[in-house]
Amino acid sequence: MAAPHLKHTFANIHALRGGKPELGDLALSDYHLVFRFPPESLTAADPSLKKSVKQVWFAFHIISQCTLRPTPPSSGVPSSIRIRFRDFTYVSFNFAGDKEAREAFEFIKSRTCKLGSVDKLLAFSYRPPPNSPESKINGWDLYDVRAEFRRQGISEKSRELGWRISTINKDYSFSPTYPALLIVPSKISDATLKYAASYRSRQRIPTLTYRHPVNNCTISRCSQPLPGISFKRNIQDESLVSACFSASTEFAGGTSLDMPVESPPPSTADLMIESENTDGSMSDIQKAEDELTVGGTILYDGKTGKRLIYGAQQQNLIVDARPVINSYAMQAIGYGTENMEHYKFAKKEYLNIDNIHVMRESLEKVISAIKDADVSPFPPNKELLAKSKWLKHISGILSGSALIAQRVGIQHSNVLIHCSDGWDRTSQLSALSQLMLDPYYRTLEGFIVLVEKDWLSFGHMFHLRSGHLSHEDWFTVDGDALAGTAVKPGENDGRADHFENAIAGAKRFWSKKTASGKEAVTDADGTPIETGVEPAVAENMATRPKDISPVFHQFLDATYQLLRQHPTRFEFNERFLRRLYYHVYSCQYGTFLFNNERQRHEARLQERTRSVWAYFLSRRSEFTNEQYDATVDDHVRGRERILFPRCDDVRWWHQLFNRTDDEMNGDLNALAATAERVAAYQQASSSSELSRPVDAGTIDVNSNPPSSGAPSRTSVSPTRSPLPPGLAATAAGGSVHAGVESAHEVLTPGTRSPAPPNRNVAAGDPTGTFAALQERISGLSLGKAMFGGGTGGSTGRSSIGGSGSDSGRNSQNELAEQEMKSMS
C-alpha cells in the first residue's frame, strides 16, 4: 500500500501490548493509525537504528472499542488511549500530555463513527500498486452464478434435469434481498413463484443452492413461512417445496421407494446410525461409512435379518435452525414454521441454534476473558471463556451442518433449510454442509465461490452484522483516570453506567457553540479541536449495535475446526481464514460492503472498488496448505469425498485471538489425552467380551442392561467396539437432532418407533473402574463440566412443550420479540 497522507504525528509515544512497552512515533492518516518504532528521535541520534525501523498499520475501520483515559499533569500518570480491534488486537498508547491524547482520540473518532456514508470508507480510495500482481487480477470476475450451477449440472439448456434458471428477480423487484438469478424446479412457473412469495418472509422463496454431483440430491434454502396464529397455508408454497424435493427424483426416473433398488457404488452407501457421542458428533457415522467404503461389507438388519438396501430409506428434510419454542412463538406476530400436515412428503428437524443476540453476548464474554491483552502478559480468564459457551455454539452449528450433509450425501435425501429471514443461520448451515459434501469448495477458488454464493448473493447482511460505519458508543472516556489511577488488568474499559452520565455532562461543558451554531469539541483547556463536519448517516446504513453479531465469524470458526480435524483435505490454510476475517471488517475492499446483491449493484462496487479475492489470489503461496492432498478416492480412508466434523473435538481458534494453543486449549487438550488413555484401557479390558460370537454380523453395544430410560442403540459395524462407560452416555443437553433414530429404524422403512421422551439420561455402568473420571471426561463433549450444557446448540429443548430453559425464562411474546430483533 502506498504511504499514507499523514494528518497528525505524535512523537515519542509508548505503545503497550502484552504488557510490553515500545517507544515510537504515532501517525494518523485518513484511514490508518501507523506506529513507527524506534522513534525518529532515536534514529536521528543513532543512524544505525534506521535498519531496524518497523511500522505497524492499524485500519481505523476495525476498531471495536476506543477508550480515552485523560489524567491531570499533577498525577504523574500519562494519559492514554486503549484500543480493541476487531481482529482481537489490543494496544494502549501512552501520551506525554492530556491534550495530545484527546486530540488523537477525537481524530480517530471523526474518521470512524462520523463518516456518514459508506462511500467514504477506505475501499473507495484504495488501489493496489501499479503493475503489482494484485492489480492484474479482477476478483469481481471470479464468481459467475451461471458457471457455478453449470458445474453442478444446471443451465438454461438442462431443464430436463428438473431445474431451471429463473430471471423473475432480474431487477430485484421480486425479492430485494435475493440474487438476480434463482434456480427453481422446472415444473414451477414464475406465476406460481409470485403467489408462493407472499407466504415467505421477505419473499425469500425456496430456491436451490446445491445439487450433489453423485446422487443428484439437493440443498435448498428460504426464509420462514407466515402461517401466523390463524395457521394460514399456501398451496403454491407447498407445491414449490414439493417440487424442490422431487425434481431430482423425477430426473432419475421416478423410482418408487417401494420398488427394488440397485445398490449404488460403495462411496455413496446410505447409512444412519445413532452416535454414541450425543453431543452431535458425526464421528461414528464417519466410521461406519469408512468401514463400508473401504471394506465393502454387506450389511444385514440385526432384528429382521434382511439385507439393508441403500437409498431405500430416503427421507426428505425441512430444517428449521431455530429452537422449537422460538419458532412457534413467532406465530403470535404473523410468522412461524411449517405445519407438517401440509408437507407430508418431508420430515422436520429443529436444530436449536440460538439467535444473533445470544451469539453476540457469547462473543462479548470471550472478549471479557482476553480484554487485558494490552497491559498484561497473563493468559485469558478460563472461567469467563467457559461461561461464554462459544465452543458449544460452534459445535452446535457443526452438528446441524453435519446432519444436513449426512441426509444429502449418505441418505440420498433432499433438504430445505431456513431460520427466520434465511440469511444468518441458514447461510451458516448451507455453506458448511456443502463444505463437507463437495471437495471443490475445499479448494481456494471453490471456497471463494461458496462465500460469494451462499453469503453474498443470498443476502447475508454484512454491513448490518459488521457495523462498518462504527458507532459513538464504541468511543468512551474512562473517568477513573481523571483521579490519576493507572489502568490495571481486570478492570472495565467503560466502567459503570452511572459514570457515562458524568461524561455526558463533561462533554456538554467542553462543548461551546461556534458562530455557525454548531457544537465544537474542545479540550480540557477550552481549546477547540477540529473534527470536521459530522454528516448525517442514512438510516438504513447506520450502525445499530444490537444488530451486530458474529455470524460470519462463526462460519469461519467452524471451517477452522474442519481444517484442524482434516488437515489434508483443504487447499487453503488457517492464515487464509484469519485474513479473510480481518478483511470483512477492514473495509479495504468492496466485497463485504452493503447488505445484499442489489445494494452492491446499485453502488456500482465492481467499478468503484477492488475485490478482496484479488488480494488472496495474488498471494496464493501465502495461503496454500502445504499438507493438502487433492486426491479424492472413496475407497481410501482419509481421501473420501465427504467429511464430517468431530463435534467433541472442537477447540478455540487461538490464532485468531492472538493467543497460544496452550493458553486457550490447554485444559481441553489435557482432558482429551486423559480420555484417550481411559478409552484404550477399557477397550483392552473388554476384549474378552467382544470375542464372543455375534449373530448376523451385528454387535449390540448395549449388551449390558442400560440405565433406566436409556435409548437402545444398535451398531451396524461388525468391528465396532463399545465406548467406555460414561463416554457412551447421553451428555446433558443431547444433540441437535429433534428426534434421533436408531440404525434399525432408519434402515428398515416402516418400523420406526418414536424417540424416547427424555434423552438426557446416562448409559453404561456407573460403578465401573473409571466411574470417578466419568464426569470430568464428559466435559470433552463441551457439556456441563466445562461449558454449561451439551454441544449441540441450545440442546435439550428440541421437543415441543419440553421443560427447557427457554420455556422457563421467557414467555412466547418475549421469544418472539427476540427473534424479531434478529430480523431486519
| Catalytic center residues | 419
Residue with cell 480493541: 84
Contacts of 33 (CB under 8 A, 6+ apart): 26, 27, 57, 58, 60, 83, 108
Cα–Cα distance, 68 to 80 (Å, whole number): 6
Sign of torsion over alpha carbons 773, 774, 780, 782: negative
Query: Is 422 assigned to a binding site?
Result: yes
CA distances from 368 to 131, 380, 478, 764 (A): 44, 9, 17, 39
DSSP structure class, residue 200: B
Query: Is 356 assigned to a binding site?
Result: yes
Query: Is 164 assigned to a binding site?
Result: no
Three-state SS string over 351-395 comes to CCCCCHHHHHHHHHHHHHHHCCCCCCCCCCCHHHHHHHCHHHHHH
Residue with cell 446432519: 403
DSSP 463-517: HHHHTTT--GGGEEE-GGGGGTPPP-TT--SS--HHHHHHHHHHHHHHEEE-TTS
CA distances from 289 to 293, 296, 468, 638, 821 (A): 6, 10, 44, 12, 41
Cα–Cα distance, 80 to 71 (Å, whole number): 8
Query: Is 355 assigned to a binding site?
Result: yes
- The amino acid that residue 173 corresponds to is S
Task: Identify whether the C-beta of residue 287 lies closer than 8 Å to the C-beta of residue 755.
Answer: no
Diameter of the chain measured on Cα atoms: 96
Task: Identify whether the C-beta of residue 339 lies closer than 8 Å to the C-beta of residue 806.
Answer: no
| Coil, helix or strand at residue 566 | coil
Q: Residue 321 — φ and ψ, nearest 5°?
A: -70, -15
Through-space distance between the first and last CA atoms of the chain, rounded to whole angstroms: 36
Task: Identify whether the C-beta of residue 544 lies closer than 8 Å to the C-beta of residue 464.
Answer: yes
Task: Identify whether the C-beta of residue 791 lies closer than 8 Å to the C-beta of residue 399.
Answer: yes
Q: Retrieve residue 189's grid coordinates.
A: 412457473
| Coil, helix or strand at residue 32 | strand
Q: Residue 162 — φ and ψ, nearest 5°?
A: 100, -5
Beta strands in 266-361 (DSSP E): 317-320, 347-350
Cα–Cα distance, 144 to 154 (Å, whole number): 13
Q: Residue 37 — φ and ψ, nearest 5°?
A: -145, 145
Q: Retrieve residue 481's grid coordinates.
A: 483516570
Query: Is 423 assigned to a binding site?
Result: yes
Query: Is 421 assigned to a binding site?
Result: yes
**H-type alpha helices, 686-760:** 687-690, 743-747
Sign of torsion over alpha carbons 577, 582, 587, 588: negative
Beta strands in 514-608 (DSSP E): 519-521
Task: Identify whether the C-beta of residue 795 lies closer than 8 Å to the C-beta of residue 736.
Answer: yes
SS3 content of the chain, % helix, strand, coil (to 5): 40, 10, 50
Task: Identify whether the C-beta of residue 520 lies closer than 8 Å to the C-beta of residue 511.
Answer: yes
Cα–Cα distance, 346 to 249 (Å, whole number): 14
Query: Is 424 assigned to a binding site?
Result: yes
Query: Is 144 assigned to a binding site?
Result: no
Cα–Cα distance, 159 to 167 (Å, whole number): 14
- The amino acid that residue 752 corresponds to is R
Query: Is 596 assigned to a binding site?
Result: no
Cα–Cα distance, 644 to 650 (Å, whole number): 13
Binding site residue list: 355-356, 419-425
Binding site residue list for substrate: 355-356, 419-425
